[in-house]
Amino acid sequence: MKNIKYLIIAAMGFVLSTSCLDDLNQLPHEETTSASVYAKAENYKMVLAKLYASFVISGQEKGGGNADISSDNGENADYLRLFFNLQEVPTEEIAYTWLEGNNMTNMAYMKWDVREVWSSDMYYRIYYTIALCNELLRNATDAKIAGFTDSEQQNIRTFALEARFLRALAYSHAMDLYGDIPFVNENDPVGAFLPPRYTRAQIFDFVISELNEIAPALPSVKETEYARANRGAAYTLLAKVYLNAEVYTGTAHYTECIAACKNVFSEGYSLESKYAGLFNADNNLRTNEIILSFAVDAEHTSSWGSTTYLVCGAIVTTDAQKSADYGVDEAWGMFRVRPELPRLFGDVTNTKDSRAMFHTAGQTLDVNVMTDQTQGYAVTKWTNLHDDGTKASNTAADGVNTDFPMFRLADVYLMFAEAVLRGGSGASVRDALGYINLLRERAYGDTSGNISESSLTLPFILDERGRELYWECTRRTDLVRFGLFTGDAYKWSWKGGVKEGAATDKKYNHYPIPYAELSANPNLSNIDY
């Protein structure tokens, strides 16, 4: 049961809405004051629900109405839609159709600057979530909750741990996307305040410290409501940050990554038997593999962004593909894939790999014209269907019912193997191979896709991450870590705005802090822009 969702509507009535962020630490404007909200212990969980909801909706009303913060791209600029665009659109995993209409040309061709609207919207959305987390934490101190019962106090302390986790998640995204960034926490003053600039290394230290402290204190997966943070989620985020530590700090932490992965394994997760079931409207049932989901449904988190964007946006508007086959009332035709992704699977029309989920009829493999919907295969990975094949919701009116699996055990297996191959201690290549072949056996349905130790190389891992995790908001980060996102070592179709692919400047390894922020806060600056 998607329990956390059913608190969101109640939370909407009074929790933390704002039309703009004049500074990164400002208290969101409220019709009801903080003092009255936090006067009752039961309200804390409603505030917590808003923290989780901030990742999948952009306003207080259906479809993003009564927006939380102003946006250069309209009411649909929720956190997940923005994150997907920044992580996927510049890579070989997306061929975007509506370049001019959606202000996506510079994103698709890796030519953005400090005025890039998608980058700035993501920046403000991240710091809005951080502001919400900070406000809950300000009101969850021992002094603030002393008047509640012991049981209520214990619940609120758990909510505070979750708020710290969500803040660490948001800061990890900000560090990854923007490099050196402003830092603000619950101890900073509210109001006129210019946050200091923290280096990536400082943010890394903060996130690692937070996660190491809260992970053991969080409940296990068996003790946690669906779509709420638990120990497994904290250790997974810890592994992700450690895996990318060399990018963030210049110092490798692969041994620590392996240790964090082992902590995830000890929580008792297991692979789901069918890959496709991880991305349909019943994926809330896959808690054996899905470690943390962003919960989405058509009743309580109705949105034209989040997973509605992924499901409807992936279906082309030609007669060759039927939207009803995916539980969708309207096809949006927003994106396909560039040829490099299908080529990871070989001939996708004749492969045993069940992860090769592409619509090819009426579509060409190559993309000679980015805006032509018939060029580039369409992805069928995400659906709005129940396990029995029935439609889960009226997407035209309410959006989809499919959650977004932010963390999966499969990713932890891949991180573990990569950290071993990069020299981390505490595990062997044989251990890593075992986990990789579990993924291959799920994909192929038997051992025919299994590989040997000699085939388990870093290039193989990058390709396997593409096969397993495409369209799950990892590709840009992966390519940066492998030194392939910018430069000329890997040129995919339309990289740099050239059909054959072109070298790009290293500055695009991170996005710029918005120009307006640089003007408002003299502590901030952009590297390379």
What burial letters (b/e) apply to 108-143, b meaning 16+ CB within 10 Å?
Answer: bbbebebebbbbbbbbbbbbbbbbbbbbbbbbbeee
Q: Over the stretch 372-430, which tens digit does the pLDDT of each residue have?
A: 999 999 999 999 999 999 999 999 999 999 999 999 999 999 999 999 999 999 999 99
Please give the model's pTM, rounded to 2 decimal places. 0.94
The distance from CA 399 to its chain's CA centroid, rounded to whole angstroms, is 19
Q: How far apart are CA 529 and CA 113, in angstroms?
A: 7
- 238 neighbors 208 (Cβ within 8 angstroms): yes
At 76 the pLDDT is: 62
Q: How far apart are CA 244 and CA 478, in angstroms?
A: 9
Residues in the chain with pLDDT values less than 50: 1-31
At 527 the pLDDT is: 85
Q: How far apart are CA 105 and CA 42, in angstroms?
A: 46
Q: How far apart are CA 77 and CA 496, in angstroms?
A: 25
- Please report, for residues 243, 413, 449, 461, the alpha-carbon distance to residue 482 in angstroms, rounded to integers and kept in the order given: 11, 18, 24, 10
At 301 the pLDDT is: 81
For the chain, helix (H) and strand (E) counts, in that order, are 19, 8
Ramachandran angles phi, psi of 379, nearest 5°: -95, 130
CA dihedral for 521, 124, 43, 49, sign (positive or negative): negative
- Please report, for residues 99, 198, 380, 409, 459, the alpha-carbon distance to residue 449 in angstroms, rounded to integers and kept in the order given: 38, 45, 22, 19, 17
Per-residue tokens: 448? 């025919």
Q: Residue 518 CB: number of other CB atoms within 10 A?
A: 16
Helix (H) or strand (E) holding 224: none
Q: How far apart are CA 509 and CA 462, in angstroms?
A: 17
- 4 neighbors 226 (Cβ within 8 angstroms): yes
Ramachandran angles phi, psi of 335, nearest 5°: -155, 150
At 17 the pLDDT is: 36
- Please report, for residues 127, 185, 238, 277, the alpha-carbon distance to residue 208 in angstroms, rounded to integers and kept in the order given: 19, 15, 7, 32
